[in-house]
Structure 1
Amino acid sequence: MTDAEVRDYFQDLYRLGSDTSASLEEKIEQAITIGRDRLDVDYGVLSHTGSGDYEVIGSTIQSGQYAAGSTHDLETTWCRHVVSDDETLVISDAGDSPYSDDIARDVTGLQCYVGASIVVDGDTYGTLCFSGDEPRPSAFGAEEKQFVELLTQWIGHEIERERHYRALDAQNERLNEFAGVLAHDLRNPLTGARGYTELAAESVSGPESDYLQTALDSLDRMETLITETLTLAKEGADVGEREPVQLSSVARVAWETVSPTTATLEISNDRTVQADRSRLRQLFENLFRNVEEHCDAGVVVTVEGTQDGFAVEDTGPGLPEEIAESLFGGAYGKGRRGLGLLIVERVASGHGWNGSVESDKTRTRFEFSGVGVVTDPPRPAD
């Protein structure tokens, strides 16, 4: 094989790996067709053998035996050697080889064969093989064997990735369903508890009234936690359609919603960014709520436009070190972040923004970069 032919083999592999738009079925079809053509043999077949049978998943054979969707006895195929020995099998001329009396030669009629195993998540999924009805004029070379092995590795990675995506989709669907049921089941008794507590509060005064107000505040906090949990479960992935929004308008709406009694809001270097308005408002609300719950009176919160995004900074007293280190890529279990900061992370990652936090005893600064900054006129505030 010439150097140019070797380069062509690996250019084929590169093109296969670069096609991110094709489905798994299309990628398999491309791989077995390219392999068949490059090796200049009659057939290319991808099989699944995990159940003990020889199930044809993809094939260049359009009809009849060994077409896609057909199932055969694994013990009558050349591929059984690949599965049992876990090694690539290369046969250029079956009649002039140690396999001249092999049952696969009689049953399949194939006189040349090269095949390797496909491994998915550490287990043998099946095989990728290329074969012909006649002996090959020239023996399969080392580069051709390596080409087949690299094809099987690539296909194994693609099948593995597809499995993981499907498992993740199913898990997210179950999570969404669970979150909805949980929220419904929690809100029903919560509504009853709030109603009876409000009724009792109307008939008492003095310390008892204060106690009941504390209970109502706790019930309100439970409602917030339920809402935030649903947000994480149902809206934790990519955000919706982005549009030009003005930082100051969204930040002020969020500020009025949270109404922090211990802080004041300032806007610095206002700008318009590309974002999902509702999700950006959630980000601001959760950062402002964090200030309301954890900062002392007199704190100043500044929303500031930066060169490629924006920042939210307060004047203290700062996040605990373990929480700051757990944000934006840190381990969730390292610090008790709470749902609010987790939502902030999800909104940023859903937009594709980069988030960072700096905190000491005098300030906490959340900065978001990689944000599309635009000059288009913003929509009016909500």
Structure 2
Amino acid sequence: MSSTSSQRTPLKLISAAETEKRLKLLYQISSQTSTELRTQLEMALKLTTELIGMDIGIISEVKDENYTVQYFYPPDSGLHVGQEFILGSTYCSITLKSDDVVAINHMSESEHNRHPCYEAFSLESYIGIPILIDGELYGTINFSSPKPKEGGFIPSDYILVRLLGEWVGATVKRDRIQTELRQKNELYELISSNSADMICIHDVEGVYEFVSPSSKSILGYTPEELLGKNHYHLIHEEDIEFLRENTHKDLRDAKTVSSVEYRIRNKKGDYIWFESSVTPVKGKDGEVQQLQSVSRDITDRKKVDLLFKSAQEMANVGGWEFEVDTNRLYWTDELYRIYELPIGSEINLEEVIEFFPGSSKDKIISVINRAVERGDSYDITLPFITANGTRKWVRAIGTAHTQDGKTKSMSGTFQDVTIQIDSEKKIVSQNERLKAITATRDKLYSIIAHDLKGAFQGILGMAELLKMELKDIIPVESDTEFKLSLLHMSAQNAYELLENLLDWVRMQDSDIEVNKESIDLEEVLVKSISLMQSAASRKGIEIKQEIYPILMDGDSKMLATVFRNLISNAIKYTDKGGEIKISAKQLTDKVEIVVQDEGVGMNEEIIQSLFDKNNRPQRKGTMSEKGTGLGLILCSELIELHDGSISVESKEGEGSTFTVLLPIH
């Protein structure tokens, strides 16, 4: 095959420097730190493609007549993992006829210029080699370009691709082996984690003579690691004496130990809790020859017990049990702590009842007596004084346990709820203060709504009156006329802001109701436009209307507020002499209202924050009119109350279009 390759591609004599580059590349590829197969192979493709001046590098898998792309470079080549081709439509069909490197410098001038791959993709240069794993074909590694290979492939390119093919085959094989081993290990670990208890045989001194395989999953030791070791050497030093005194003697006397709990050290050096049952194995002479043990890890159960104990302490909950016939009372440690008594001290029912002061004592006696006599349960919260004189609130819960209709015992819990009671009292107090603050605030809103609105209406009226009286005296576009217009516009803006604020506050307090009725949308829109006409005229803005009578269900006052705000915004952000278009039309069961302006428009960042209460944009208009961003938020909430929607389309410098969709019914 090498002779055939030389006829297709004349080899070029090169310097030792080029060979050294390719050897360094092979070293770089083979010494990658990543252990992830895809990362390794894709890096190899990248480095090789760039060094030999190709555009595309591919590692394929070939099965029968199917060619599948498994790895490729560059990422934007248009290829994807798993992409399939018919083998005969790829240059690799040429490669697989060889057992060595195939290189073609200029496909159109070669004997393969009519190959289906050339006709489909016009790839002019190509170099590749088959990849073999254990003598079996895996696929190919190849590099190609739509440009001819200037000067042709050099001898070290052949060596590079040949060695690279061998490295890929070895790397894929190693990954397969590692994957297979990992799967076997995972299966083994799964079996181990669900294995039975640890079964062992010891001599009479505790030395392991047999250990079941489950020791690996329970203690981390293999059976071989434990054989010959003394069991006692793994036991926690605090538990050894207990075991020697309570179990070892019984075992020597041939007595079975049914259950004993202790701590044992695992291979990691951590102590876990063990529960063991040990049976003596006697010889013919009746003497104990060996000990057979069955052990299990009870660490989780112990943790639950400790957590329960900790939970009792954290929640200040103690448990108790009372035997009616013997008058004996049993407490958990936490109950002693609540009473502030020494743990384990002698207690009786009559004494502990004395800790309840005044009427609380009568109440606790009453519920206990009723529980004993009737078998009732109780749940009561009472004041309480500890042995140290600490005043607390406690919740006492008790349940009677009866037999043959007679209460034999009682049990329950006793919880220190002082913090909860104090918190509840604080909440009640804070609620009262909040009610008073709310009442004061509502009075303030009432004053603002009545007095300030009245004052603004007076200012607006006076400004309008001044303009009318002085229109024949003051020249048009004079400084005085401008100031009067500015005065009127400022007062109008402030008035609109005040109305928006009051409406928005009422909505936040849920103090606003939708009074839907049959309305003529045209009438509401035209009235809203007429109220804003003077503001538009002052800026020389023409408002064009395309509105028709449409009957729908809605709150005319709320919708008027929406339309006024949208029109006001359009005027505010439109230059002098501009144009605003307002239209309304019916769409089956909805109404579409559109307010379109030729104003300054908005960028995407502003559009995204238009209806955000916490990040509303505040922009000045084309005549420096102030904007708070509150109007659109109010519009959105009022439209939402009508089960409608609002959207916006805008480009900076090209104006904005607001579209409102409302249901007809």
TM-score calculated relative to the size of structure 2: 0.30
Corresponding residue for 2:75?
62
- Residue in structure 2 matching 1:32, options 25, 33, 45: 45
Q: How does 1:152-231 map to 2 (within 5 A)?
A: 152-181=165-194, 183-184=195-196, 187=197, 224-228=211-215, 230=217
The alignment status of 1:17 with 2:33, answered yes or no, reads no
Query: What secondary structure is seen at the aligned counterpart in 1 of 2:58?
Result: strand
Q: Partners of 2:54 and 2:25 in 1: how far apart?
A: 17
Q: How does 1:61-140 map to 2 (within 5 A)?
A: 61-63=74-76, 65-140=78-153
**Unpaired runs of at least 5, structure 2:** 1-13, 223-229, 245-264, 271-665
The residue type equivalent to 2:34 in the other structure is: S
- Residue in structure 2 matching 1:279, options 251, 267, 289: 267
Q: Partners of 2:216 and 2:75 in 1: how far apart?
A: 51
Bigger drift between 131-140 and 21-30 goes to: 21-30
Q: Per-residue CA shift, 1:81-113, capped at 9, x if unaligned? A: 223433321111112222222222212311111
Q: 1:278 to 1:128 in 2, by over 3 A?
A: same
Bigger drift between 134-143 and 56-65 goes to: 56-65
Structure with greater contact order relative to length (CA < 8 Å, sep ≥ 6): 1
- Residue in structure 1 matching 2:233, options 247, 253, 268: 253
Q: 1:231 to 1:93 in 2, by over 3 A?
A: farther
Residue pair 2:100, 2:162 contacting (<8 A) in 1 also: no
Query: What secondary structure is seen at the aligned counterpart in 2 of 1:16?
Result: helix
Corresponding residue for 1:327?
none
Q: Per-residue CA shift, 1:125-153, capped at 9, x if unaligned? A: 11111111122121212211110111121
Q: Per-residue CA shift, 1:270-299, capped at 9, x if unaligned? A: xxxxxxx843879xxxxxxxxxxxxxxxxx
Q: 1:24 to 1:226 in 2, by over 3 A?
A: closer
Q: Partners of 1:231 and 1:19 in 2: how far apart?
A: 38
Moved over 6 A (4+): none
Query: What secondary structure is seen at the aligned counterpart in 1 of 2:181?
Result: helix
Residue pair 2:130, 2:137 contacting (<8 A) in 1 also: yes
Q: Partners of 2:23 and 2:134 in 1: how far apart?
A: 25
- Residue in structure 2 matching 1:41, options 38, 54, 59: 54
Query: What secondary structure is seen at the aligned counterpart in 2 of 1:168?
Result: helix
Query: What secondary structure is seen at the aligned counterpart in 1 of 2:96?
Result: helix
Corresponding residue for 1:367?
none
Corresponding residue for 2:154?
141
1:251 Cα deviation from its structure 2 partner: 12
Q: 1:64 to 1:2 in 2, by over 3 A?
A: closer
The residue type equivalent to 2:186 in the other structure is: E
Give the % identical residues.
22
Q: Partners of 1:179 and 1:69 in 2: how far apart?
A: 37
**Unpaired runs of at least 5, structure 1:** 195-212, 237-249, 260-276, 283-382
The residue type equivalent to 2:100 in the other structure is: E
Residue pair 1:56, 1:71 contacting (<8 A) in 2 also: yes
1:69 Cα deviation from its structure 2 partner: 3.8
Query: What secondary structure is seen at the aligned counterpart in 1 of 2:149?
Result: coil
Corresponding residue for 1:334?
none
The residue type equivalent to 2:79 in the other structure is: Y
Q: 1:93 to 1:235 in 2, by over 3 A?
A: farther
Residue pair 1:78, 1:104 contacting (<8 A) in 2 also: yes
Q: Between Structure 1 and Structure 2, which shows a larger proportion of strand residues?
A: 2
Q: Partners of 1:124 and 1:147 in 2: how far apart?
A: 20
Residue pair 1:251, 1:281 contacting (<8 A) in 2 also: no
Residue pair 1:109, 1:133 contacting (<8 A) in 2 also: yes
Q: Partners of 1:56 and 1:226 in 2: how far apart?
A: 45
Residue pair 1:77, 1:104 contacting (<8 A) in 2 also: yes
Q: How does 1:231-270 map to 2 (within 5 A)?
A: 253-254=233-234
Q: 1:235 to 1:161 in 2, by over 3 A?
A: farther
TM-score calculated relative to the size of structure 1: 0.50
Q: Partners of 2:144 and 2:59 in 1: how far apart?
A: 12
Q: Partners of 2:67 and 2:101 in 1: how far apart?
A: 17
Q: 1:61 to 1:16 in 2, by over 3 A?
A: closer
The residue type equivalent to 2:214 in the other structure is: T
Query: What secondary structure is seen at the aligned counterpart in 2 of 1:45?
Result: strand
Structure having the higher Rg = 2
Corresponding residue for 1:319?
none
Q: Per-residue CA shift, 1:310-330, capped at 9, x if unaligned? A: xxxxxxxxxxxxxxxxxxxxx
1:228 Cα deviation from its structure 2 partner: 4.1
1:163 Cα deviation from its structure 2 partner: 1.1
The residue type equivalent to 1:279 in the other structure is: K
Q: How does 1:303-322 map to 2 (within 5 A)?
A: none
Q: Partners of 1:137 and 1:95 in 2: how far apart?
A: 14
1:231 Cα deviation from its structure 2 partner: 7.0
The count of corresponding residues between Structure 1 and Structure 2 is: 224
Residue pair 1:83, 1:124 contacting (<8 A) in 2 also: no
Q: 1:66 to 1:80 in 2, by over 3 A?
A: farther
1:6 Cα deviation from its structure 2 partner: 0.9
Bigger drift between 54-63 and 71-80 goes to: 54-63
Output the aligned Cα RMSD.
Answer: 4.0
Q: Partners of 1:55 and 1:280 in 2: how far apart?
A: 47
Q: How does 1:341-356 map to 2 (within 5 A)?
A: none
Query: What secondary structure is seen at the aligned counterpart in 2 of 1:87?
Result: coil
Q: Between Structure 1 and Structure 2, which shows a larger proportion of helix residues?
A: 1
Residue pair 1:60, 1:67 contacting (<8 A) in 2 also: no
Q: Partners of 1:132 and 1:281 in 2: how far apart?
A: 60
Q: Partners of 2:150 and 2:269 in 1: how far apart?
A: 69
Corresponding residue for 1:239?
none
Corresponding residue for 1:333?
none
1:179 Cα deviation from its structure 2 partner: 3.8
Q: Partners of 2:77 and 2:187 in 1: how far apart?
A: 41
Q: Partners of 2:213 and 2:105 in 1: how far apart?
A: 66
Residue pair 1:24, 1:162 contacting (<8 A) in 2 also: yes
Residue pair 2:100, 2:130 contacting (<8 A) in 1 also: yes
Q: Partners of 2:213 and 2:147 in 1: how far apart?
A: 68
The residue type equivalent to 2:267 in the other structure is: R
Query: What secondary structure is seen at the aligned counterpart in 1 of 2:267?
Result: helix
Q: Partners of 1:135 and 1:77 in 2: how far apart?
A: 17
Q: 1:137 to 1:107 in 2, by over 3 A?
A: same
Residue pair 1:111, 1:133 contacting (<8 A) in 2 also: yes
Residue pair 1:62, 1:68 contacting (<8 A) in 2 also: no
